[in-house]
Amino acid sequence: MKQSNYTRPTKTDASKLGERRRHYWSRLLRKRAYWSLPVIEMMTAEETHANIARSRRGENKAAWINISLRVDHIAVIEVLQKVHLRNTGKEISRAEVLAALMAAGLHSIVNHENFGGNGN
């Protein structure tokens, strides 16, 4: 198996972020999702996935769900991790990069005609 394109920094301050800063993009995505999507559907989906994740043996933490990504998608995420580290000197997780991408594009997708928008 080939090693990841992104290499985590070691023995640096790159990973020293507070809890709030570490999850900035995830919080932003959640806030935008509640503004843009039906609230009841969001709450139901969150509760369903949290219950599924917590029902697994030994799980009593935040809900994590695994999904499969295409090679080109994970490549974009890893390149963005490198760019973020280079520009800020701070690490960012794959989950947070994905949350940033989703938060940035959520409005456009919700407005796309294939997702019930008017195409603007």
For residue 119, what pLDDT band results from cuts at 50, 70 and 90? confident
Asked if pLDDT for residue 1 goes beyond 60, the answer is no
Break the chain down into helix, strand, coil percent, rounded to 5. 60, 0, 40
What does pTM read for this prediction? 0.74
Mean pLDDT of the chain: 83
Mean pLDDT along residues 95-115: 93
Share of the chain above pLDDT 70, in %: 75
pLDDT in tens, 23-81: 888 889 999 999 999 999 999 998 888 887 777 766 555 557 778 889 999 999 999 99
What local confidence, expressed as pLDDT, does residue 72 receive? 93
| 102 touches 28 (CB < 8 A) | no
How would you class 3 by CB atoms within 10 Å of its CB: exposed for 0-12, middle for 13-18, buried for 19 or more?
Answer: exposed
Asked if pLDDT for residue 17 goes beyond 80, the answer is no
Separation CA 81–CA 25 (nearest Å): 13
Torsion angle of C-alpha atoms 95, 98, 103, 107, degrees rounded to 10: -140
What local confidence, expressed as pLDDT, does residue 58 receive? 63
Separation CA 117–CA 120 (nearest Å): 7
Q: In terms of Cα–Cα distance, which of 92, 84, 82, 80 is closest to 16?
A: 92
Asked if pLDDT for residue 97 goes beyond 90, the answer is yes
The domain spans of the chain are 19-115
Separation CA 26–CA 106 (nearest Å): 13
Asked if pLDDT for residue 19 goes beyond 70, the answer is no
